[in-house]
């Protein structure tokens, strides 16, 4: 490492009890995080904020920028198909980044990528509320029409933008529509995405 932004010895050797990846991973090949440990000598783990079939999401403190971020740590790629899917997710996430693509097309902002103990990691802006959260707190009828139009317009703008880039998201749902503090839409989770050319040949 050329630069070390954060390091701690307190939790480094704490037993994880995992069965895979020298004890660092659980039965599903997901990393077992420990609070306050370092990731990539830069990100301090604060807490687990999401978990799914393709990995987990951690809230971390970026010691370089002194800001809170979300680190998506993918499951350990033990087979060719998993490795290929993760490469596609990384490529698609990077491909969709562009000048003001977050504000214009609702693309989640990618801040960094790295590998940690064999796991591919994506660092994105930290957004704590999803469209699913908004809907689960009450009836969809409670969301004003103006907001619904804004959400719908941005999602459609995103889909058109992705299509122009030759990309299919593959998993548009309320859980994958995040909202900023100002209520702006950010589309995330490209784990099921594919390129139109490869999709048409399957």
Active site residues: 171
The count of C-alpha atoms lying within 13 angstroms of the C-alpha of 155, restricted to the half-sphere facing its C-beta, is 16
43's enclosing H/E stretch is strand 43-52
Residue 103, helix vs strand vs coil = helix
**DSSP label at residue 3:** -
- The closest alpha carbon to 106, from 179, 56, 34, 9, belongs to 179
Could you give the CA distance from residue 161 to residue 157 in angstroms, rounded to a whole number? 6
In this structure, are residues 4 and 39 in contact, taking their beta carbons and an 8 Å threshold?
Answer: no
In this structure, are residues 169 and 146 in contact, taking their beta carbons and an 8 Å threshold?
Answer: no
How many of the other CB atoms lie within 10 Å of CB of 16?
Answer: 15
Could you give the CA distance from residue 31 to residue 147 in angstroms, rounded to a whole number? 37
In this structure, are residues 60 and 39 in contact, taking their beta carbons and an 8 Å threshold?
Answer: yes
59's enclosing H/E stretch is strand 55-62
């Amino acid at each position: 490492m050329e630069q070390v932004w954060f390091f701690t010895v307190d939790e480094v050797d704490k037993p994880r009890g995992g069965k895979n990846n020298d004890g660092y991973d659980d039965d599903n090949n997901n990393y077992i995080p420990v609070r306050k440990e370092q990731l990539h000598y830069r990100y301090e783990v604060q807490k687990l904020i999401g978990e799914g079939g393709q990995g987990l999401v951690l809230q971390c403190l970026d010691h370089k920028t002194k800001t809170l971020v979300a680190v998506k740590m993918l499951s350990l790629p033990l087979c060719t198909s998993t490795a290929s899917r993760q490469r596609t997710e990384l490529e698609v996430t990077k491909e969709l980044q562009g000048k003001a693509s977050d504000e214009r097309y609702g693309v989640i902002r990618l801040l960094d990528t790295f590998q940690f103990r064999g796991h591919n990691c994506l660092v994105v802006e930290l957004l704590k509320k999803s469209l699913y959260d908004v809907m689960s707190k009450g009836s969809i009828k409670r969301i004003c029409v103006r907001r619904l139009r804004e959400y719908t317009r941005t999602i459609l703008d995103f889909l058109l933008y992705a299509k122009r880039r030759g990309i299919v998201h593959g998993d548009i749902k309320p859980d994958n529509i995040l909202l900023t503090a100002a209520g702006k839409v950010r589309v995330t989770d490209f784990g099921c995405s594919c390129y139109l050319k490869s999709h048409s040949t399957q």
